[in-house]
Amino acid sequence: MSDRLAAIVTGSSSGIGRACAAELARCGWDVVTHGLEGAETVTGDMADPATATALVAAAEQRFGRLDGVVSNAGAGLTKPFADLDDENWRQLYEVHLAAAARLLRAARPLLAVRGGAVVAMSSLAAGHALDGRAAYGAVKAGLEGLVRQVAAEWAPQGIRVNAVAPGTIRTPLVERNFARGLLDEQAVLSRTPMGRLGDPGEIATVVRFLLSADSSYVTGQTLAVDGGWSIFGG
């Protein structure tokens, strides 16, 4: 068994997830990475219950421990509420909420051994109305509710559970949404007091903090990392 801390990061093939995995590795963590394709340690759709089990098994077999989980895998959808069908709702529920619940459930026994930590990736859409984000915002709000409930239940076992709600971060997905007209970059910048988009690394350092002993008295919280977007009053 390694003395190094070990973590699982889902959705780590690009963007915020890749930055989180890289930041943890830079700080000496062993990391089980995940994605739908490529050279990740574990591949699979997080909507498939077997993927959560495989991720936890990989951590146990390779490192003999699990100290942190970053539930980051997700999918976006911009569509007016009136146009959403049952399949849209099912897909977003499965990948954002049900998959996170399965991963936490599978990871709990190993996390409880040394008192680990979980970070779930939420969104500003959980608490703010955004155009075309009814389904996405609803499942992210559910995720934040899950974080609070599980944090309360698992605190006696020494497991902390928190969420991060990123602002608009310059990821490949966001760049594609700008190009397709699904996001207006200038509108985002004018609403953001810091006047710029975030970098994936700026989310990753917050995630690392929430997984570390530096946040040992923090649980059940959602931390907005958004350049001030959520406090804008103008």
> What amino acid occupies position 124?
L
What's the CA gap between 126 and 133, in Å, rounded? 9
The tokens describing 210, both together, are: 């929430």
With both helix axes pointing from N to C terminus, report the angle between 99-114 and 134-154 in degrees, rounded to the nearest 10.
Answer: 20
CA 193-209-217 angle, 5° bins: 105
82: number of Cβ within 10 Å: 6
Tell me which residues are annotated as active site: 136
Side-chain half-sphere CA neighbours of 35 within 13 A: 14
Radius of gyration of the chain (CA): 17
Q: Is 71 within 8 Å of 119 (Cβ atoms)?
A: yes
The helix/strand/coil state of 216 is: coil
Closest C-alpha to 45, from 99, 8, 105:
99
The helix/strand/coil state of 160 is: strand
